[in-house]
Amino acid sequence: MRFIHRDYHPCNVLWQGTEVSGIVDWTLGCVGPGGVDLSHCRGNLQKMYGLEVADRFLEQYEASAGSDSAYHPYWDILQLVENLPHPPRVYAPWAAFGLHGLDEQLMLERTQEYLASVLARLR
Are 111 and 93 in contact by the 8 Å Cβ rule? The answer is no
Model confidence over 104-119: pLDDT tens digits? 999 999 999 999 999 9
- Ordered by start, the domain boundaries in the chain are 2-121
- Residue 63: C-alpha distances to residues 57, 59, 84, 108 (Å): 10, 6, 31, 30
Architecture of the domain defined by 2-121 = Alpha-Beta Complex (3.90)
Model confidence over 43-93: pLDDT tens digits? 999 999 999 999 999 999 999 887 777 899 999 999 999 888 888 889 988
Q: Cis (ω within 30 of 0) for the bond into 93? A: no
CA distance 122 to 46: 18
Q: What is the reported pTM?
A: 0.91
CA distance 102 to 123: 31
